[in-house]
Chain A
Amino acid sequence: MFVQIKNLTFHYKNSQKPLFENLSLNFKQGEVSVILGESGSGKSTLLRLIAGLEVPSRGSILIDQAVMNDNFRFVQPEKRGVGLVFQDYALFPHMTVEKNIKFGLTKMNRKQKQARMEELLAIVGMEDYASRYPYELSGGQQQRVALARAMAPNPSLIMFDEPFSNLDSKLQLQIRDELQEILKRTGITSIFVTHDEEDARSIGDRIILMNNGKIQDEGLPEMVLQKNKEKLSLAYV
């Protein structure tokens, strides 16, 4: 198991009731897992916990056998080697595409940085945009830059928080296929958050159905979606 979450308990400061209580969940190496759930069910929070942006009150998280946090330890986000593509991309507005992508390449020299940056721009098909600023890009282009930036430092795990929510439906399809292609090609372990069933079906190797901070079901996409058809359709009416 690549990511192991054991008995995780977490609550936000200003809420009484814990969002997660004794949550346990695993992710396999090289797999694309999709967390599907309605708004407010805790999908983003789970990603933030794995990335180290929130501190759980109990339980442990292991990534690649290494303890990220348990009752004694807490590894800072910058030391976890986890890439996260934010819901609204969070591209640094004061940096060009090139600078954004090079940002996480701290351990490389100038030449290596340049090479890696060009490599990633090629992967996401944005070679001609290196000197643009984020506000000079369309939503889909920003999304691709965000992906390139997260992948540049070669994270062992990459997570996406509803990366398509800001795109129109035609672009959504196109980018989704591209993303799937890239993920398959690089073989990187990835976790993908969405509330769109179609996204989940087409991109996931496995689906985790989440509701109110609890895992309702998990397994192969078709099976999970079939089994929970009624619940899902109810939830999205």
Chain B
Amino acid sequence: MYLIRKMRSQFNSWALLSVIFSVLILLPALLIMVQLFAESNENWEHIKEYMLKNYVVNSVTLVSFTGLFTVLIGVSAAWLVSAYKVPMHRFFKWGLILPLAIPPYIGAYTYHGILNYTGVIQTTLRNQFGIKVDQKFFDIMNIPGAVFIFTMFLYPYVYIITRSFLENQSSSLIENARLLGKGSFMTFIQVVLPVSRAAIVGGVSLVILEVFNDYGVVKYFGIQTFSTAIFQAWFGMGDIYSAIKLAGTLMFIVVLILILEKVIRGRKQYSYSTSKVRPLQPKELKGWKKFAVLSFFISLFALAFAIPFIQLLQWVYMTYDVILSAAFADLIWNSVFVAAIGSVLIIIVALIIANFSRLSKGWIGKVFSKITVLGYSIPGAVIAIGVLTLFLSLDEKVITLYEWFGLEPTLVLSLSISMLIFAYVVRFLAVGFNSIESGFDKVGTVFTEASRTLGMSVTKTFFKVDIKMIKGAIAGGFILVFVDILKELPLTLILQPFNFYTLATKTFQYASDERIHEAAVSSMVIICISALSIFFLHRVLEKEPK
């Protein structure tokens, strides 16, 4: 009785929509999970017998070393930036985030272009200095090379989260340690590392998810991993069945890692609390220490951003007159079109679920917000396979329906743009949701309640009050999602309709065809849009606390 009344008090249409959306979001993952336990076919037996171990070993190697190096680099950069002042401090503080604007696959082919036989280093050595170096010393198309690429372009995840934690939360701890006579290094080891454990784990788990998600780098470098295997099964052998099994196995591994993350992080939550905590005051550095820190910043910025960026600029200069054409305009239009529709849908769904979840308090709301976050943990290729399975089975139903009416059966839903956009929503809902949820958290529920006691229903309140109060969060969420879709590669490669390319997939195609110079223009567009959004978001983030 209580429950029924309780449900009634909870604005039915919001609940209903939230349930429908959540089921839709879950469906692809569920389909894969169910299929994981279906009986196997010959192909899968073969893969399991001879290849699976290789995929696991390669993926785990990549993930472990990338994780290790991103922590080393990200955490030390975060600590040095928040604790010390060096020349151009503000520039590095923001500049060290910039590598995030370069998707790893673009970084990969750019570095390959710099280092290969016809690249700038080898030709300079040959032509200016007459030195011939064996190309094998410059070969990065291997596992260590991939780890280097991932580390350079993903460490900012660890850096950002750890830095904001150190700056906002820990000043008294660190100052106390200094007062107690601990040197800088000991402070770092004994205080900074332990207290920021949760933040570091949070950052590195984002890195790990990105590495599992990656297809571009490993494919380009010829490394066999789960993503490449899924592509191979689907495109190479047309075997959706094995693709599903592979996707399921990968999803299983990812879930294990997420559980591990929870355990390691323990009950400590890192938070971006913007309350009145006193920020950590950076200390002026002198002498060789200043020089050392400065060179660390400069080399990191150069390797992770400046060098590839300048190289791309040069390639853009070489090729822009060929590339910039009507076809390129189409490409931009396609990308902007899917990204815009995807982002709008995501923001709408996120608003509905977030609003329901915050107003229903209790555990129901928590369950919904957990479901929406799921997609972001699952690699793009896995989601693509799940969505494909879903749409193929829907199409079967549609085809029988067509035959029933005596019409020509065709594949209607599969490989259409709507399927691609649906997959984007599943994959990136979490990004929009997190932004909107934190917006709601900041304003609380008091305005909503005030509006309701003044005679407005939940829905009217939503449009007249709630939405207006979280405009910033909505804009921020939209931009983040837009850029993520724009950069997205594996999922788009699997699901893009015939003859439909986005900036990202075209870039990758050029690079795979060894036309890396031609890939530069579209890469540059992606990088600039990402950089702008990063700049914009951090301006907003920095302004907000005051």
Contacts and interface: CB of A to CB of B under 8 A. Distances in A.
Answer yes or no: do A and B interact: yes
B453 A72 contact: no
A69 B451 CA distance: 20
A93 B446 CA distance: 12
Contacts of A15: none
Contacts of A69: 5
A220 interface: no
A166 B469 CA distance: 23
A90 B453 CA distance: 12
A81 B456 CA distance: 11
A46 to B, nearest CB: 15
A83 interface: yes
Nearest to A106: B455
B9 A74 contact: yes
A55 interface: yes
Contacts of B446: 86, 88, 90
Nearest to A79: B455
A27 interface: no
B454 A90 contact: no
Interface residues of A, number: 34
A133 interface: no
A153 B454 contact: yes
Contacts of A78: 452-457
Contacts of B362: 13
Interface string A72-100: 11101111111110101010111000000
A57 interface: yes
A147 to B, nearest CB: 13
A71 interface: yes
Given A13-B362, A72-B5, A78-B457, A53 B451 contact: no
Contacts of B450: 84, 86, 90, 92
Given A71-B1, A74-B5, A88-B446, A82 B453 contact: yes
Interface in B444-482: 446-447, 449-457, 464-465, 468-469
B361 interface: yes
A71 B465 contact: no
A55 B9 contact: yes
A92 B465 contact: yes
A51 interface: yes
B6 interface: yes
B129 interface: no
Most buried by B among A76, A77, A150: A77
Given A78-B453, A83-B454, 7 more contacts: A71-B1, A76-B9, A77-B449, A78-B455, A104-B454, A149-B454, A150-B453
Per CB-CB distance, the 7 closest pairs between chain A and chain B, nearest first, are A104-B454, A90-B450, A77-B452, A84-B453, A74-B9, A90-B446, A78-B455
22 contacts: A52-B9, A55-B5, A71-B5, A72-B1, A74-B8, A76-B457, A77-B449, A78-B453, A78-B457, A81-B455, A84-B450, A86-B446, A86-B449, A90-B450, A92-B447, A92-B450, A93-B469, A94-B469, A103-B456, A104-B455, A104-B456, A149-B454
